[in-house]
């Protein structure tokens, strides 16, 4: 196992397209001026508070600001969220609606697409004022497929194309003989690239990549490549 020099972005070839993986946990498809995000889970803190748990506020506002910064920095014209934009029905608070309606007004020329995830199906479609086009099925985009859930081992894709997805909030453990740290990651195999969750209040699932897979581990400002050459 070896690591490449650390940086805040890495360009990869995936499905014949050049994609830029960001330490900020997004993917930029420059040729199409598109930003991909997965598992934002807006309003999760509000849903916890509605259930009686003392969770601080402000996570969703910060995440919306992070999205806006990426759009400006990379001259994005289309935002595609690969599922779970909103956490659940209790997440739809007046404060979140004001923030997202303001986001839509500020970025009125931005195309917004939501590939519906399992949380979106339970939460319900976002308000029309947020400006999202919702897609219930996998979305073909040139040689790519935008989806929410990864393929299970041995599962055959319903459509041909390199699959971009999320859902599992992948992370990877870096270990020494005495300690370890678990960090969000992009997980790339031959047929799919699983994105880390973008939301700042989400859990993680530690993945076990196969030989030949590549993980791209992210910290707050850095991303670095770890090819799996042995198990």
- CATH code, domain carrying 205: 3.60.21
Structural domain contains residue 1: no
Structural domain contains residue 181: yes
Structural domain contains residue 84: yes
Give the ranges where 12-107 is alpha helix by DSSP (H).
Answer: 44-50, 59-73, 94-106
Stretch 85-106: mean pLDDT, rounded?
A: 95
Task: Provide the mean pLDDT of the chain.
Answer: 91
Structural domain contains residue 2: no
* Number of domains the chain is built from: 1
Of all helices (H) and strands (E), which one includes residue 121?
helix 118-123
Structural domain contains residue 4: no
Structural domain contains residue 118: yes
* Positive/negative CA dihedral, 104, 92, 200, 184: negative
* Cβ atoms of 71 and 35 closer than 8 Å: yes
Structural domain contains residue 3: no
Q: List, for residues 23-74, the tens digit of each pLDDT value.
A: 999 999 999 999 999 999 998 887 768 778 667 667 899 999 999 999 999 9
Domain that holds residue 50: 9-227
Beta-ladder partners of 192: 163
Residue whose tokens read 């935002």: 79
Of all helices (H) and strands (E), which one includes residue 223?
strand 223-227
């Amino acid at each position: 196992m070896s690591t490449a020099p650390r940086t805040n972005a890495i360009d990869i070839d995936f499905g014949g397209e050049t994609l830029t993986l960001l330490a900020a946990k997004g993917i930029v498809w420059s040729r199409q001026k598109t930003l991909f995000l997965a598992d934002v889970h807006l309003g999760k803190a509000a849903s916890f508070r509605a259930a009686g748990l003392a969770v601080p506020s402000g996570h969703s506002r910060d995440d919306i600001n992070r999205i806006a910064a990426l759009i400006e920095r990379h001259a994005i014209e289309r935002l595609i969220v690969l599922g779970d934009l909103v956490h659940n029905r209790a997440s739809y608070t007046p404060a979140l609606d004001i923030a997202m309606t303001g986001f839509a007004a500020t970025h009125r020329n931005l195309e917004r697409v939501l590939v519906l995830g399992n949380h979106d199906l339970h939460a319900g479609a976002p308000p029309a004022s947020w400006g999202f086009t919702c897609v219930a099925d996998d979305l073909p985009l040139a040689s790519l497929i935008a989806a929410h859930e990864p393929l299970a081992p041995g599962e055959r894709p319903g459509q041909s194309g390199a699959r971009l997805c999320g859902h599992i909030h992948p992370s990877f453990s870096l270990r020494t003989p005495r300690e370890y740290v678990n960090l969000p990651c992009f997980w790339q195999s031959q047929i799919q690239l699983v994105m880390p969750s973008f939301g700042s209040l989400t859990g993680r699932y530690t993945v076990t990549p196969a030989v030949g897979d590549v993980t791209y581990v992210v910290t707050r400002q850095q991303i670095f490549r770890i090819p799996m050459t042995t198990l």
